Amino acid sequence: MKVTLFAAVWALAGGLLTACDEEIQVGSIDEGTYETSTELLGYIINSEGRQSMATVEFRNTGTTQLYLGLSKAAKQDVAGKFKYDKSVLEAYNKANETTFEAFPEELVKFAGDGAVAVTKGESKSAGVDVTFNTKESLKQDATYVIPVRAEISAGGVQLPDDVSGYLIFVKDLTKLPSCDKSTGIKIISCMEVNDTNPLNNLCFTLKESGKPLIDIVILFSANINYNVETGRVYVYNNPNVQHLLDNREKYLKPLQDRGMKVVLGILGNHDRSGIARLADNTAREFARELKNVCDAYHLDGIFFDDEYSEDHPPITPGFVKDSYEAAARLVYETKRAMPDKLTCAYVYGMTSNFRSPVDGVQAGDFVDYGIHDYGSGFDLAGNYPGMPKSRMALYSQEFNRGYIAPASELKNMRDNGYGAHMIFAMDPNRSNFRWTQKPALENIAKMLFDDELVYNWKPQPKDW
C-alpha cells in the first residue's frame, strides 16, 4: 500500500503536542477507516499519539518520547534506531514552501543512542526519550525543528523514506515567563475586542503561584470574506481588530511577554464565503493567507467559529455546500501551513464535528483545542477523534450575558482530567464585573488551581 507523509503517516494515530505538560499515556490507534495491508508497516508516534510531527515548548531542558509503532503485531522481534537527520526537514521545507531552521544537533540526545525495539507479538515499542537543551545563541521568537529518521535493522518492517521521518517543532521559552499552573489546565479568554481592551487579561493573577490566570487570548474576531470582483476569499479585519494588530507592541506583545498565547478568531461575515464551504484548493490558499497574517503580526494561531455565513446560490467554482468535511479541510490545511501555531475549533456549527479523517489524518492531529459552546461539557473524543482530554475545553462561560459555570461543573472537569476552560467577553469595565464576572473568576482560581484570585483593580479602557 502506497503511503505519503501527510496521509498514512498520520493515519494510524493523532495530534500535536504542545507542551510543558506532556500527556504520558500513548494515544490509541484507530485503523478502522483504512485499508488493510498484508505488509507490516512501521511509523513513529509520540506520547500523545501524534504522528509525523509534534510541537514541544521547553525551558532550559525539554524531553519528549518517541515510539516505533506497527500496523499489526510483529511476527518476530523488530529492531531499529531513531537518529537526527536534517534531510527530513529539508524535504518538509521544500514540499511546504517553509523555511524552518534545524535545532542544533549537538543540543539533542537520544536515550540509548536511539535504539528502539518491538517484541514479537507486540505492535509498539517502549518509548525513547529525546532530550534537548537551550543555548544562549537560540533566537527567542524562533521555532526550530528536530528532524528524526527511523531506520529498521531487523524484523521485516516496511518503512519507506517518505514515512520514516518525524519533525519535533521546538520553542525555547527559557527567556519568557510561564503561565503554566499547578494542574496544567489552560484558561482561554475569548475577547470581544470591538468593546474591550485585551490588556485586561493582565489584571488577574493567582495569589500563591503568582501566575497569570489567563493562558490563551482569542481576539474575537477577524472574518473570512468574499471578494466579488476577484472571486477569492480573504481575511478581513474590522477597524477594532486592525487597530490592535497595527499596534501589537502596545496591546498584544505585553500579553505574550507574560507567557500568554494570542490567537486570532476567524468568523463568517454574512457573505458566500464561510469556514465550512471552501473547496480543497480554496481552503489551501486561504490557509496560506492565515499563515501570512500570523507571521506578519506575530500571532500564535487561529480560532475557527462557523457562524454568520449566508447562502448565495448558485455554488460557484472554488466553493462547496456547507459541510463538516469542508470545515475540517480548512483547519487541516491551516495546520499544514503552520504546524508550530495553534488551531482551535469551536464546538458549534460545522466546526463541531470532524469525525471523518482528512487525507487519512484524524482530527486530533490537526485540532489543538476543541472549545465547547456555553455550558456544554461532554467528552469530545467522538467529535475530534484522537484528541486527548488535555485539549478539550469544557463548560465555557459567557460573562456579558451571565452564563456562569457552577463550581460543580469546574470540579467535574478537573476531576475527570479535562485540560482547558474558556471564558467569553470578560471586561472589568462592565457593570456586572463585581457581582458576576469577578466571583466567576474567583471560582475558577479556587476550583481549578486551589488558589486565590488577585485582581489589581486597574481595568484598561478601550482607548482607541
Catalytic machinery residues: 307
Residues 294 and 329: beta-carbon distance below 8 Å: no
Find, among 427, 434, 435, the residue nearest to 460 by Cα: 427
Beta bridge partners of 265: 303
User: Cα separations (Å) of 170 from 130, 147, 257?
Assistant: 12, 11, 18
Kindly state the DSSP code that residue 259 receives in the 8-state scheme: T
All three cell numbers of 162: 517518505
Characterize 73-97 residue by residue with b for buried, 16 or more Cβ atoms within 10 angstroms of its Cβ, and e for exposed.
Answer: ebeeebbbbbebbeebbebbeeebe
Q: Which residues pair with 109 in a beta bridge?
A: 131
Amino acid at site 304: F
Residue 339: cis peptide before it, omega within 30 degrees of 0: no
Report the residue count for the chain: 464
Distance CA 68, CA 126 (A): 8
Contact 346, 352 (CB under 8 A): yes
The enclosing H or E element of 370 equals: strand 369-372
CB atoms within 10 A of CB 316: 11
C-alpha distance across the termini of the chain, in Å: 58
Query: Is the separation of the CB atoms in 14 and 366 below 8 Å?
Result: no
Question: What are the residues facing 115 on neighbouring strands?
Answer: 81
Interatomic CA distance for residues 372 and 156, integer angstroms: 45
Strand partners, 396: 374
Please, which residues bridge with residue 129 across strands?
Answer: 65
| Residue 7 φ then ψ, to 5° | -110, -85
Of 387, 312, 307, 374, nearest to 343 (Cα)? 387
Range list of H helices, 111-182: none
